Structure 1
Amino acid sequence: MNIMHTFFIVVFILCIVFPLFHIINALLLVSKKPFYMHDNKTKEQGISILVPCYNEESILQTCISGMRNLKYKNHEIIFINDGSSDETMRMLLDLLKLSPLDKNSVPYSELPYMPVKGFYQSTIYSNVKVIDKVNGGKADALNAGIACSSNELIITLDADSVLDESSLSIINKAFTDESVISAGGNVHILQGTEFENRKLVPALRKSKQIVRFQILEYLKGFYVLKASLARANALSIISGAFGVFRKEVLMEVGGYRRTIGEDIDITLKVQKYAMKHKGKKILFIPEAICYTEAPESWRDLYKQRIRWQKAFIDCFIIYFKTFMKTMFTNKVSFFFIFDSFLTGVLASYLTGFFVIATIVLFSGLTAKIFLIYTVTSVFANLFYAIAALSVSSDYGHSYGKKDFFALTVTIILDLLVYRFINLLTAMIGSLAYFVNKHSWNKVSRTGRKYTVESKEIVQKAN
């Protein structure tokens, strides 16, 4: 047996061991009720919600409607128009009835960001402000938002995200623990829901197949992977769609770095901060939910996944020395290298290599190894999907009989088709980073209108 076969077998074993570890870890997490979900009244801490906007005219109305119906009182919302080239700023002016403030009222901050062109206060919502600035990218916009925020807790949201009305209260309870410095919220896909008896419930059958793939993927990614990593104190990505940070920590680590992977980068910065300050915690809060719009075309999905992969490679290179020095002493480094990089990136290339080698060379040993890998990985991924559905059901996110057929088809197609698409985008995205690492590849919004009314999100026809 040559070195390549040995290496492949090692990676193959890791590809089985890590998923099993995450499944068990996630199931153990469900068995214990977290401290912040106990029925205790807690004083509302001040929360600042930052919403960076770049060419978001088609989704702004949904976002603002969702914010308007939040029942948590002690919060402010700051929209940051990052030099949009469409009608985003005009819509903000119209929908929020903005009144200009003195630009000099923007607080001084050591965080870097591009110049502010205008600073505004909504005349109909006293807790809403808007920053109009020169384009500098999402990280740059978030730094401007941090500088203008007035509360200790910072929530970062994408413009296409809609918060569940209970999310802020749950976050507030979680951050009564002074050792908690950051947390990731749970993200569900907006197109995969409907209202039944005035309650928002999953509705897989109502969405396109491409969206169903992503719904299942998000369930696995949040309810299993992120839950497991957080329990192991190894969470390396707080999703940019819904993250929570203490402002003092963001200031201490220098805010966001201008990069394509700002959410990974800021999480790793905060993890380094936690390493230096013993006892600090970074949580995943599955009960705090936001809904986000997913790509509905293969072109947009491809662009999104290429960007995600380039962001991963970018942070892997930047933090490589730290990872290598601490791979066996720090859990974040260990899982980033062996779980995310080795089984997520290198394994995709090895899979491609063995597919080609089996077809071209038709080596008996190569074909046998690949067959064992394929069969085992199919069952491992099936178990992973079932575990994700089980865990999400325990958290109240379950699918009924009406969705059984759509769910069954999605799981089968995910095993046979979609996971190979993800392998392909991981391979292409990793190489694309070295060709053009700064390309953002913004995904087009669907243009669909959603009306958000006190526990209601209703899709309207275009």
Structure 2
Amino acid sequence: MEQVLLIFDWFLYVWFAINILYLLVYSLASLRRDLPLPPPATKHKRVAILIPAYKEDAVIQECVHSCLEQDYPADCFDVVVISDHMKPETNASLSALPIRLVEVHFEQSTKSKALNAAMAAIGNDYDIAVILDADNVIPYTYLNDINDLYACPDVEIVQTHRVAKNLNSDMALLDAMSEEINNTIFRLGHAKLGMSAALIGSGMAFNYALFRDTMANIKAVGGFDRELELTLLYRGKFFHYLPETFVFDEKVQNTNDFSRQRRRWLSAQWHYCTVFARFVFKAITSRKWDFCDKMFQQLSIPRLLLLGFTFLLAFCFSFYNFIWSLKWWSIFLLLVVALLVAVPRRFCTSRLAAALQGLPYTFLLMVANIFKLRGANKKFIHTTHGIAKSK
């Protein structure tokens, strides 16, 4: 019996260790020299800012006004709001602004449907498509930063740095920290090692024709950005990253929203892992390493589950066989180092220490979500936005 347990222990250890070393390598890579900034562009490209808005009456105005306040020639960009199930008074208010309002009425709403409908309505007279969520806010230099990078002829896809718009609850703080860890490991660390940065669903910019033609074949219900990302990576496209170009995004503020959001993400991760698995061997033989890297991410253990289970296994083995536990404590320490390196220093406050007390509960929510994935990717799971006042 102990021999079987030993084999199982080593199987889990190798699996967990590979996941942890992957995070550690890219976390440490983020400390390398800064990415070079592109020189200012001499021409302004035509930009369409596409904002899918499903029942986003509470936040859409702030997003639109931040777009309209760009320090960018007004005749070189259009703000396109795709209104889906928003109130008539919201649509009337938006219609009074210098934007393009596209109203859609889907029986089953998805971002991919909304974006495809918008591009069909506005035509093809654009060079760049910028994708924002309705709860996003962008600084006035945002389009200029993107335009500068697109002056480089080989740039087709760009991910900007998404940061928290709100820190008004412990959950929002933890969510904001989690996203910054993602930014450090999956975007900045990757970019500094010459790999494609991960897309995140908003704050993205694409060559307009490339985005339009690719989205025409994207039918995703949930996680459209994952299907888009894997499709483009398999085609050999490279994703650039602008770490100093920020887009402000509303973070989840309570455990119910956290659970729903993570269930949607877990479901999309597993779904697209199975969909694209058949391309892995050909990608390896074709040396499409960015695609292979992304497929590894799809197979990886979600970070909160990795942290929780590594600690639990190390703790339990400490009582069963202390020698066995040493290797688990060692990789747990490496995981902690990887995460600490990835956390921006501004988060290291006494408030974070208090918020971390809720981490065991969020871990349990993630574990529970594993058993709720069935069918989650076949329906649109909406996260309600609208920042509530802090208590």
TM-score category by the smaller chain?
0.7 to 0.9
Counterpart amino acid of 1:295? V
Shift in alpha-carbon separation, 1:319–1:41, aligned structure 2, 3 A: closer
Aligned to 1:27: 31
Pairing 1:80-99 to 2, within 5 Å after superposition: 80-82=82-84, 84=85, 86-87=86-87, 89-97=88-96
Deviations 1:89-140 (Å, cap 9, x if unpaired)?
A: 431212432xxxxxxxxxxxxxxxxxxxxxxxxxx42xx1011112231110
Query: Residue 336 of structure 1 aligns to a residue in which SS?
Result: helix
Contact 1:12 1:373 in 2 (8 A): no
Shift in alpha-carbon separation, 1:265–1:237, aligned structure 2, 3 A: farther
Q: What 5-or-longer segments of structure 2 have no aligned partner?
A: none
The answer to whether structure 1 residue 332 and structure 2 residue 331 are counterparts is no
Residues paired across the two proteins, number: 379
Give me the whole-angstrom Cα distance separating, in 2, the residues matched to 1:296 and 1:346: 18
Give me the whole-angstrom Cα distance separating, in 2, the residues matched to 1:51 and 1:90: 18
Shift in alpha-carbon separation, 1:165–1:353, aligned structure 2, 3 A: closer
Give me the whole-angstrom Cα distance separating, in 2, the residues matched to 1:347 and 1:445: 26
Aligned to 1:312: 269
Aligned to 1:248: 209
Give me the whole-angstrom Cα distance separating, in 1, the residues matched to 2:215 and 2:34: 35
The answer to whether structure 1 residue 373 and structure 2 residue 328 are counterparts is yes
Contact 2:270 2:298 in 1 (8 A): no
Q: What 5-or-longer segments of structure 1 have no aligned partner?
A: 98-123, 193-206, 391-397, 449-459
Aligned to 1:113: none
Pairing 1:382-397 to 2, within 5 Å after superposition: 382-389=337-344
Aligned to 2:157: 182
Shift in alpha-carbon separation, 1:220–1:341, aligned structure 2, 3 A: same
Give me the whole-angstrom Cα distance separating, in 2, the residues matched to 1:23 and 1:294: 23
Counterpart amino acid of 1:441? I
Q: Quick one: which of 106, 109, 114 aligns to 1:141?
A: 114
Deviations 1:207-244 (Å, cap 9, x if unpaired)?
A: 32111111211211113322223444554741112111
Shift in alpha-carbon separation, 1:357–1:375, aligned structure 2, 3 A: closer
Deviations 1:22-58 (Å, cap 9, x if unpaired)?
A: 1222112xx134241x4x3532111100001110111
Give me the whole-angstrom Cα distance separating, in 1, the residues matched to 2:301 and 2:119: 36
Aligned to 1:106: none
Pairwise CA RMSD of aligned residues? 3.2
Shift in alpha-carbon separation, 1:221–1:259, aligned structure 2, 3 A: same
Shift in alpha-carbon separation, 1:65–1:353, aligned structure 2, 3 A: closer
Contact 1:302 1:425 in 2 (8 A): yes
TM-score by length of 1: 0.73
Give me the whole-angstrom Cα distance separating, in 2, the residues matched to 1:330 and 1:422: 36
Deviations 1:179-224 (Å, cap 9, x if unpaired)?
A: 11111111111114xxxxxxxxxxxxxx321111112112111133
TM-score by length of 2: 0.85
- Structure with bigger strand share is 1
Shift in alpha-carbon separation, 1:61–1:338, aligned structure 2, 3 A: closer
Shift in alpha-carbon separation, 1:298–1:423, aligned structure 2, 3 A: closer
Counterpart amino acid of 2:240? L
Aligned to 1:100: none
Instruction: Using the TM superposition, give the Cα deviation of residue 161 of structure 1 relative to its aligned residue in structure 2, in angstroms.
Output: 0.4
Deviations 1:126-176 (Å, cap 9, x if unpaired)?
A: xx1011112231110011122225311001110000112112111111111
Q: Quick one: which of 167, 170, 175 aligns to 1:214?
A: 175
Aligned to 2:233: 271
Query: Residue 177 of structure 2 aligns to a residue in which SS?
Result: helix
Aligned to 2:146: 171
Q: Quick one: which of 368, 386, 391 aligns to 1:446?
A: 386
Shift in alpha-carbon separation, 1:4–1:235, aligned structure 2, 3 A: farther
Give me the whole-angstrom Cα distance separating, in 2, the residues matched to 1:158 and 1:368: 50
Give me the whole-angstrom Cα distance separating, in 2, the residues matched to 1:178 and 1:169: 16
Deviations 1:337-394 (Å, cap 9, x if unpaired)?
A: 44442343897599389759949xx9724x654564256425532442344325xxxx
Give me the whole-angstrom Cα distance separating, in 1, the residues matched to 2:337 and 2:370: 26
